[in-house]
A and B are shown apart, each in its own frame.
Chain A
Amino acid sequence: MHLLRSIQKGADGVYVVGCLEGTCHYNEGNLRASERVEHVRNLLEEIGLESDRARMYNLSSGEGPTFAAYAKEMTENIRALGPNPLKKWAKV
């Protein structure tokens, strides 16, 4: 719901960052999150938005440079997709 809400409110993109597979402190948290992000991507396609506006990345909390690299990658991804067409409906 949070992912959908952010797009609904005008965010151009949203990404979830979780631990590397197999290292989740809560065992399955990152796997469940991954299922949900995939579901949200399908919902976005369903309503006519690009599914790539929502993504999930996995890394460990010690991997600072990787985090920065993923942030850059996501930013470039969203730039390529263009702004969220729903932005004009969002109240400031």
Chain B
Amino acid sequence: MIVAERKPFEEIKDMLKGYKKVLNVGCGTCVAVCLTGGEKEVEVLNAELDMARKLDENPIELGAITIERQCDREYLEALDDKVGDYEALLSMACGAGIQFLAERFPSKPVLPAVDTTFIGVNQDVGWYEERCRSCSSCVLGWTGGICPVTMCAKGVYNGPCGGTDNGNCEIHQDQPCAWFKIYERLAGQDRLDLIMEYQPIVAWKNQKPRTLMQPGYKKPEEAE
């Protein structure tokens, strides 16, 4: 899922300083799973902001609503008749959701309460780790399921560099060498021949905004 981290409190408080009535919009999908921007986190942030602003003798009125996700228009619809009352919207969704929210209500300032950080996995409650950099050129089939773009410090695509050091990366003893891990994984599956195969270099398709059109669905020019 997409993992995001709540911005430092001072930064959020500073963003809201000119406003007296703000709606805090949470998201029930990725950011709720990583405990950053779900219903409970909206409540906690609102309590913090309420108290901090009262201590500054400058109270703020805060609304709270959490929708299933902010990256789907069908859920954003629920906000249509609610945002009018507020001066600004504070969103706890990931960057994609925040942008869709801003696009839907272009006359309202939309402020991010989180920094979107990475695509990752859930190791345990409260512990999330990056696994994917969305390079659009997945080679996991040839690397035993370990991503060299994400897990290798240099993102080396074809075998280890000269800096592998007893299973660790030369940059730090705590950083495992991704290609050492790939070797171990492939050896365990008896597929070491794959390491000798050359993968063309990464196309770095993630350097400009991408679009996916799934075949079998209405194209935008055909849709009403």
Contact = CB atoms under 8 A, between A and B. Distances in A.
A85 B52 CA distance: 11
Nearest to A47: B52
A8 B59 contact: no
B48 interface: yes
B9 A46 contact: yes
B105 to A, nearest CB: 28
Given A85-B55, A86-B54, A46 B43 contact: no
A1 interface: yes
Nearest to B9: A46
Contact of A49 (B9, B43, B55): B55
A1 to B, nearest CB: 6
A86 B55 contact: yes
A46 B48 contact: yes
A43 interface: yes
A10 to B, nearest CB: 10
A46 B52 CA distance: 9
B88 to A, nearest CB: 20
Interface in B23-67: 40, 43-44, 47-48, 50-52, 54-56, 59
Contact size class for A?
10 to 19
A74 interface: no
Contacts of A86: 51, 54-55
Contacts, number: 36
A47 B52 CA distance: 5
A48 B59 CA distance: 14
B47 to A, nearest CB: 5
Contacts of A89: 54, 59
Interface string A41-57: 00100111100000000
Contacts of B10: 46
Contacts of B52: 46-48
A1 B51 CA distance: 13
B48 A4 contact: yes
The listed residue with most A CB atoms (<10 A of its CB), out of B10, B43, B55, is: B55
Interface in A8-44: 8, 43
25 contacts: A1-B40, A1-B43, A1-B44, A4-B44, A4-B47, A4-B51, A5-B47, A7-B51, A8-B47, A8-B51, A43-B9, A43-B44, A43-B48, A46-B9, A47-B9, A47-B52, A47-B55, A48-B52, A48-B55, A48-B56, A49-B55, A86-B51, A86-B54, A86-B55, A89-B59
Closest 4 CB pairs of A and B: A47-B52, A46-B9, A4-B47, A89-B54
Interface of B: 9-10, 40, 43-44, 47-48, 50-52, 54-56, 59
